[in-house]
Chain A
Amino acid sequence: SQTIHQWPATLVQPVGSPLSLECTVEGTSNPNLYWYRQAAGRGLQLLFYSVGIGQISSEVPQNLSASRPQDRQFILSSKKLLLSDSGFYLCAWEVTGTYGYTFGSGTRLTVV
């Protein structure tokens, strides 16, 4: 079966520390992968998406970056976190051509 794993579920990090959030997909190949951020009480903002290994498109060029080292692995990173990076981060995948999106369970990031 097709599943998506996202971790960690909760993270508290100090300002200026690095960040690495990981998302992996099982049971499919060549998915489109997405990172979204949801601020408290607001909608979802697309941060990055990838249609293949090494292919990253950025929607929000801030201090975040994304990488796709393997077909089913998508990583969200930061070298130095800001207070404004706090939020709920969701990974999603789409089997190419199906237009069906599945979301991970999310990571609640608090920068202190």
Chain B
Amino acid sequence: AQTVTQSQPEMSVQEAETVTLSCTYDTSESDYYLFWYKQPPSRQMILVIRQEAYKQQNATENRFSVNFQKAAKSFSLKISDSQLGDAAMYFCAYRGSNYKLTFGKGTLLTVNP
């Protein structure tokens, strides 16, 4: 079964600085999708960024970018120019061929003014 590991339960960053959240996963599949979701205090799950495994180019969405290392099964999220509104729980997720979206346990990001 696929597993997703987020080794950082909590992270903090100063406003305007850059922070990187780590994620590793375990799979035997070659085609899959990886996601980062943000969950603010409202608990609404918001898709931040998506990466297709067959694409070598790292996905970017404005201030958010990923470092996808397929051989290492690593998928980190970089947030540049951190803003107070970025404070949230961040979840890494994996979606393979079996329709299921598997989540890591999350990283709580605090942004300090």
Q: B-contacting residues of A (Cβ < 8 Å)?
A: 32, 34, 38, 42-44, 46, 49, 51, 57, 59, 88, 90, 92, 94, 99-103, 105-106, 108
B103 near A43 (CB under 8 angstroms)? yes
CA distance A102 to B50 in the complex (A): 13
B100 CB → nearest A CB, Å: 6
B36 CB → nearest A CB, Å: 12
Chain B window 88-107, contacts with chain A (Cβ cutoff 8 Å), 1 for yes, 0 for no: 00010001000111111110
Which B residues lie within 8 Å of A103 (CB)?
44-45
CA distance A90 to B45 in the complex (A): 9
User: If the complex has contacts A44-B91, A49-B99, A51-B99, are A101 and B47 also in contact, measured as CB distance less than 8 A?
Assistant: yes
A42 near B43 (CB under 8 angstroms)? no
- How many residues on chain B are close to A (CB under 8 Å)? 19
Q: A-contacting residues of B (Cβ < 8 Å)?
A: 33, 35, 42-45, 47, 50, 52, 91, 95, 99-106
Chain B residue, CB-CB nearest to A38: B43
- 9 cross-chain CB contacts under 8 A: A32-B99, A34-B100, A42-B105, A99-B33, A99-B95, A100-B47, A100-B50, A103-B45, A108-B43
A106 near B44 (CB under 8 angstroms)? yes
A14 CB → nearest B CB, Å: 24
A106 near B100 (CB under 8 angstroms)? no
Which A residues lie within 8 Å of B52 (CB)?
99
A43 near B101 (CB under 8 angstroms)? no
CA distance A44 to B106 in the complex (A): 9
B76 CB → nearest A CB, Å: 18
